[in-house]
Amino acid sequence: MDQPRSHILAFVVRLVLSAGVLWLSVGWVSPENPRNTFGRAVLVSLLLALAYYVTLVKFLWFLVVPWLVYALIWLAVIMASYGLTFLRSLLLALALTFLTWLAELIFGIPTLR
């Protein structure tokens, strides 16, 4: 398999895994949420992955300000996308952390960050 195809395939696999973990986490925290669809989870995963790079957290991980900006963006996107309250969004962050760790342990593939 040539190089560009393998990169695209790796991106798609990581995106599907990230969206699946997000979808399961929202279902766990907010059962029967009508906004919890796999398509929305894919879009939210893409948006949050983009925010991770735009806020420079990927490159300036040792600074506090990029993490605070990313956390605010993350909360705003999650609350707006799924109609969750602030406390449910924080609970979602815990569920997402646990399920991401579990998925990476089982599949050995890191999710999108």
Q: What is the pTM (predicted TM-score) of this model?
A: 0.85
Tens of pLDDT, residues 64-87? 888 888 899 999 999 999 999 999
For residue 54, the model assigns a pLDDT of: 84
Reported in sequence order, the residue ranges of the chain that DSSP labels E, i.e. its strands, are: none
- Whose CA is closest to 110, among 37, 63, 58? 58
pLDDT < 70: residue spans in the chain: 1-2, 111-113
- Quick one: residue 104, left, alpha or beta (phi over 0 = left, psi -120 to 50 = alpha)? alpha
99: tokens are 């399920």
- Give residue limits of the domains in the chain: 3-107
What is the CB neighbour count within 10 angstroms for residue 78? Answer: 23
